[in-house]
Structure 1
């Protein structure tokens, strides 16, 4: 027979997995305008919306003040903006933030710490990363980023050594998760777009996408990739130094233990009390360095490789197109 406590007990609500981030058209335009206007500086802003099942609906956003404009009067800027939006019946639920990036550079420890600060109150927090340079090259410059739940738990427990991450089955690909982005427009906006006459022929934007001048983009990306490789070598040097120190300590411990055993043999022969053969204060365990920086650098290297591969693929396609056009004009 059910008791009153069983009847009043709330059923456990199973947390759904976020599969899609839906951005309103005005949100995309606001993000692009803010990030493009602040180049080459990195800017951020707040995302507002609703968590609807497996979809995070982002319906509005507003920019954060730049570091030069921050002061005592802007301490409560975020709360003031959300209060003003609430007064005009606009969604004021925080669902994450957006930020700009330069050539795909966003995988930093500061981003992870920001995710952790949001995670306690917003379980499905997302970050929209916008790359203006990538957008100018005709590629999609928007991407939605999240942290994997298993990595968040390890980060909170400060279990970031290589051994602890391997035991948990968390690799460098398991730090950030990219969520598919869907652009949504209201029915009035869709009706307006359908009513507008299409532009005759090719536009200036279409011609810009056919540009073959990508040497500057490739050289900058290669330069950043080389810097990441140097960082990776530095991280590997830290790991090698740790293993050398551990091996040196073990050798010193073996030498000390052998000496102590010989000393105890002499003390027993003299009828004296033997000394302990374990001294925890003498040889303390060397802490293993964190593997987080190595994971982040590896993620950044993979991102640069994908960017170079995509640029090379599009460049080859354009060259074949130009070659076909030249042959057609010569005939």
Structure 2
């Protein structure tokens, strides 16, 4: 958790600092026309209701997620808020360090981020950070780094920014999965208070499903991207067809597809492993919490026993006509540890839920195909 916090803090240090409001003075510019007053949101009063992702950003994120090891792909989103829509026009990847020291890695990423933003500004490109993206696998994206980074973004960016998560496993099956999220107000309030005790979770009505709120997302394409995708989908003429015109008619036919023979069970074993691993981590975390709760209960029992004993002694002294002993600060005599945070437990529950939904989606289709294949094999 400390490493995640240091990484988020280092990245936040390279973000542009919020500028203080200038002193009021007589305006020397023309007033904004009434027709444009809603679109040009200078005071950031229009709430964000949707996110629009440019097609070039989709291709960049997909390419980065495919090349990055595991689910380590992450980077910054650049764009502008316009009439309640957060338009993402560009993005760039952030480096991933796996074997370096955590502090050195965080500082290196922050330096790279500052250098990229400075370079974009020098060439007069858009350098307005509006959020970040994160690659994930099997639908699970709940982790401490994502929460810390998004919390800092919502505090420092103009409209709070968003995090866009991209499911790599869905892309491998031919489905482009992009979702936009923001932290809920209830979670941010508990996060700023650094209080995730049981009573705080009850007061804020927090569960793993109320940590993030999803923002509607749409993808915008342009003619250039559509032309590029159309060129990729066109079949290239083979050398056999060119040498033998008689085969031109047969080659123009739709090539055979064997995708239906794939039972779709390739990710099932990996998905089950992730579910078991998440359950083990949750069980370990719950064991740690139970141990800390027993420690707290023991210290409280000692403090209560000490207070009860002191009351009995004072009652005996008062009955004997003696002055009672002075009351002492129990918190100084007994170091009662604070109630442990349950944030990690909530995040682990979110992972288990995501892995379970992904398993339900993939296994249901796979089981139907397996039964169908078994029935056909029997005939």
TM class by shorter-chain length? 0.7 to 0.9
Q: In the TM superposition, what are the counterparts of 1:76-155 in structure 2 within 5 Å? A: 76-86=111-121, 88-122=123-157, 123-155=159-191
Distance 1:67 1:201, change over 3 A: farther
Aligned residues: 318
Return the offset for 1:90.
3.5
CA distance, structure 2, for counterparts of residue 73 and residue 286 of structure 1? 36
Determine which of 275, 296, 317 is the counterpart of 1:267: 317
Partner of 1:244: 294
Specify the SS of the correspondent of 1:95.
strand
Q: In the TM superposition, what are the counterparts of 1:218-297 in structure 2 within 5 Å? A: 218-276=268-326, 279-280=329-330, 281-297=332-348
Relative to the length of structure 2, the TM-score reads 0.70
Return the offset for 1:308.
0.6
Q: What's the C-alpha RMSD, in Å, of the aligned pairs?
A: 3.7
Partner of 2:11: none
Are 1:313 and 2:364 counterparts?
yes
Determine which of 347, 352, 364 is the counterpart of 1:301: 352
Return the offset for 1:59.
0.9
Distance 1:65 1:303, change over 3 A: same
Distance 1:82 1:185, change over 3 A: same
Specify the SS of the correspondent of 1:293.
helix
CA distance, structure 2, for counterparts of residue 266 and residue 77 of structure 1? 71
Are 1:167 and 2:203 counterparts?
yes
Return the offset for 1:275.
1.4
Distance 1:230 1:12, change over 3 A: same
Give per-residue Cα distances to partners, 1:73-96, cap 9 Å, x unaligned.
986433443344345554321111
Return the offset for 1:52.
1.9
Return the offset for 1:221.
1.4
Relative to the length of structure 1, the TM-score reads 0.79
The question of whether the paired residues in 2 share the 8 Å contact of 1:105 and 1:300 is answered with: yes
CA distance, structure 1, for counterparts of residue 142 and residue 233 of structure 2? 42
Partner of 2:16: none
Q: Which stretch shifts more, 131-140 or 191-200?
A: 191-200
Partner of 1:48: 78
Q: Which stretch shifts more, 78-87 or 163-172?
A: 78-87
The question of whether the paired residues in 1 share the 8 Å contact of 2:264 and 2:365 is answered with: no
Distance 1:202 1:228, change over 3 A: farther
Specify the SS of the correspondent of 2:91.
strand
Return the offset for 1:157.
1.9
CA distance, structure 2, for counterparts of residue 208 and residue 176 of structure 1? 36
Distance 1:143 1:297, change over 3 A: same
Partner of 2:214: 178
Return the offset for 1:252.
2.8
Distance 1:134 1:192, change over 3 A: closer
Distance 1:168 1:31, change over 3 A: same
Structure 1 unpaired stretches of 5+ = none
